[in-house]
A and B are shown apart, each in its own frame.
Chain A
């Protein structure tokens, strides 16, 4: 087990370098000069642009820029933004906490609501409540999150007046619930469906019949025997979902005016702030890597037949 974890951690290094390189190259390949773009329609003289670029090291060949970036990264320096001249680390540190909170809220909601809805439906497949769940999740899957976001905002903020349309500058936990639910709705639907199918299928498995025949109490049959096996696909999905929740919240963050990572990446892309994009993506890559490691380790817990030497 220890060796397995160590090996996995070592594998992260090439993945990490490869992904930052890719993002770096992609940013470089995009047309549009960030320094020039600062001036908008107005003119700036070329010497001035060249000077600013030289100061930032943007005039060097791409491989040199990448090596510089990696070198600085190992010293904990993510570079500076071109426009605001603020350190990227600071910019990211401003945006991350709120996104993490939002992601945790959304994740907890996905897990709790998704799995329980899935179990409720799966235990009685083809019943009315099962069909109801399938219908509801279909609506959630097919509804784009900006539609759902505006709907929720419209109902709860403007019609009922029980919530504020946007979160405030330093949001309380209560304010985050509405956006978290909107953000979670899609994965909630997938989790519910996955759980439902898995539960319905495993109900007919041999070990279930054995457990019932042994006379075990129903709670134990479902809670341990059924759940353990049914959760494997769900856990896989949830693992990758954390990364998606952290990075893919652009729309939700926009609707509720949350100054998180989603907005940050979006703005940075539009302004060609390469260092910011690479910085955020690097962090997201780490989140993904750690999550998938955790998922793999969880497999062993859920199903002892899966062992890592």
Chain B
């Protein structure tokens, strides 16, 4: 009894000590209630420090993109169904998928009053594509004729202009491509294609800290690692005019910290709820909880150069795919935050189809059969590479467990400490078995998920899948004269992929975010970003 008594005393003492010591903190903290320093009518969201200076063609991570998209508007955008919405362009047309004519809406201006002209686009694109300017997204311009002159594989550029870009008049220009690209207009929706004002070229470095765009918001301030603030621009003429007075992008060190600020009213929106709060966020946020799928997919991609998967019979991969209980894993381990995949493309993209195959369905008996028919997995064992800093360990373990139970093939996780290490192993062909692949749509067409990942020359094809038949089928799709024909051709590619298994599709992503009581009309766009222009304050 003595022990119990003193334990109680100790626990009591701990509580008293905590209460006594923390009181002082409360007094001064509670006088300013709510929204710390947020101007009235502004909305705040947990968007962290951009990785790089704010330049449209040098940003491909989500923090920077959020800010770029609020400051810049490119020719066109997409609605939540993935359909094209013209923003700065009056029309984008082609007759042969090779030469595209862009007409701009008249009267558009940059935030400094300079008119947005055809030349603003042409100069910007030429600058972005130029190898000397080292823009991350330069390769997005590689379809345009003359790209090789400004961005040669080796050495200095031969020219600083791409021959495919020609201004017809102030508001019209033509884009000539090297080859037919029936879906080129969809690519133009990527933020990288934004125009630049003349002041940019005076000092790009300074511009990156204080950008001037043509978008719905104007730049206000950037307190590094803490806050970026933009203000609604009254002269904006696009369809996505801001419904609020401005946005604060606030940097949080953890999703948990951001979540606790949403709950206490210091933050309006959170993009992703962390695992700790997932089980209760719907109860906490009520109507404010957001649970919506978007165009992204996760896969297990075999390294076809590895000892395990070199010359593997696709039947084995089909078998492994059937040994994964996607339903149960997404429901339990992933807390319902993912949707089991039914094809190689997510439902939000043009051309997504339900594959007529049961390869993606859980079926242990058939899985075993297929693996046996395909000659089995070498050494009856394989590994899945993932980055340990991204919260992947849990589902990798579950997938392994599922495969082991269903087929008896041994499966281990191959953890890399963080994303840079993981990427390095992929780039250097050092993946030992599968790696965790993920892809978010750049533009909502199935091509983006098939060509960029499985064409033998595709830059993001890190599994080094190479198949002549698939390449030829893709070439057919690229030569098509219309978008519809091209999408249909790529649907054929997708059907064929089931027999080749360049990857095992696992599940589609969903965004699990939310907003507090001060804001309304929070919507999610096709690549999972919250649409900020439409958000209203109460």
Contacts and interface: CB of A to CB of B under 8 A. Distances in A.
Interface of A: 30-34, 36-45, 47-48, 51-52, 83-86, 90-91, 94-95, 109, 113, 131-132, 135-136, 138-140, 151-153, 155-158, 160-166, 168-169, 172-178, 181, 253-259, 263, 270-272
Given A48-B131, A155-B22, A168-B36, 15 more contacts: A32-B420, A36-B423, A38-B52, A43-B459, A52-B134, A84-B53, A90-B224, A162-B30, A163-B26, A164-B36, A165-B260, A257-B252, A257-B257, A263-B253, A272-B420
- Interface SS of chain A: helix
A37 B22 contact: no
Interface stretch (B7-15, B82-90, B193-201, B501-509): B7-15
B263 interface: yes
A32 B424 contact: yes
A174 B225 contact: no
The 6 closest A-B pairs by CB, nearest first: A174-B28, A32-B420, A162-B26, A43-B459, A135-B10, A177-B25
A85 B53 CA distance: 7
Nearest to B9: A132
Interface in B228-266: 250-254, 256-258, 260-261, 263-264, 266
Interface in B210-230: 223-227
Contacts of A113: 21
B421 A257 contact: no
A45 B139 CA distance: 8
B25 A42 contact: no
Contacts of A40: 60-61, 419, 423
16 contacts: A32-B421, A32-B424, A37-B420, A40-B419, A48-B131, A83-B51, A109-B21, A135-B13, A136-B17, A155-B19, A155-B22, A162-B26, A169-B223, A176-B25, A181-B25, A254-B254
Given A43-B459, A83-B52, A131-B6, A174 B27 contact: yes
Contacts of A255: 254, 256-257
A111 to B, nearest CB: 14
A156 B21 CA distance: 11
A47 B260 CA distance: 44
A26 B153 CA distance: 33
Contacts of B60: 39-40, 42
Nearest to B420: A32
B12 to A, nearest CB: 9
B423 A37 contact: yes
A41 B134 contact: no
B170 interface: no
B465 to A, nearest CB: 15
B423 A162 contact: no
B52 A139 contact: no
Contact of A139 (B14, B51, B131, B134): B14
B499 interface: no
B416 to A, nearest CB: 8
B419 A37 contact: yes
A181 B51 contact: no
A58 B227 CA distance: 30
B141 to A, nearest CB: 13
Given A45-B153, A132-B13, A169-B36, A162 B27 contact: yes
B24 A166 contact: no
B51 A84 contact: yes
Nearest to A153: B260
Contacts of A42: 60, 136, 459-460
Nearest to B426: A41
Nearest to A259: B225
A162 B260 contact: no
B49 interface: yes
Nearest to B264: A165
A51 B156 CA distance: 11
A47 B136 CA distance: 12
Contacts of A257: 252-254, 257-258, 261
B310 interface: no
A155 B153 CA distance: 60
A162 B29 contact: yes
B25 A174 contact: yes
A47 B460 CA distance: 17
A259 B261 CA distance: 15
Nearest to B440: A41
A34 B420 contact: yes
A177 B24 CA distance: 7
Contact of A94 (B10, B11, B225, B227): B225
B52 A91 contact: no
B26 A156 contact: yes
Contacts of B261: 165-166, 257
B138 A155 contact: no
Nearest to B437: A41
Contacts of A52: 134
B113 interface: no
B439 interface: yes
Nearest to A43: B459
A174 B419 contact: no
A168 to B, nearest CB: 4
B26 A33 contact: no
B164 interface: no
Nearest to B31: A174
Contact of B389 (A140, A161, A270): A270
Interface centre among B61, B260, B438, B460 (most CB of A within 10 A): B260
A113 B224 CA distance: 36
Contacts of A38: 51-52, 136
A53 to B, nearest CB: 11
A139 B17 CA distance: 12
A52 to B, nearest CB: 6
B205 interface: yes
Nearest to B251: A259
Nearest to B15: A155
Contact of A163 (B29, B153, B419): B29
Given A40-B60, A257-B252, A177 B22 contact: yes
Nearest to B438: A41
Contacts of B427: 36
Contacts of B260: 153, 157-158, 165-166
Interface string B300-329: 000000000000000000000000000000
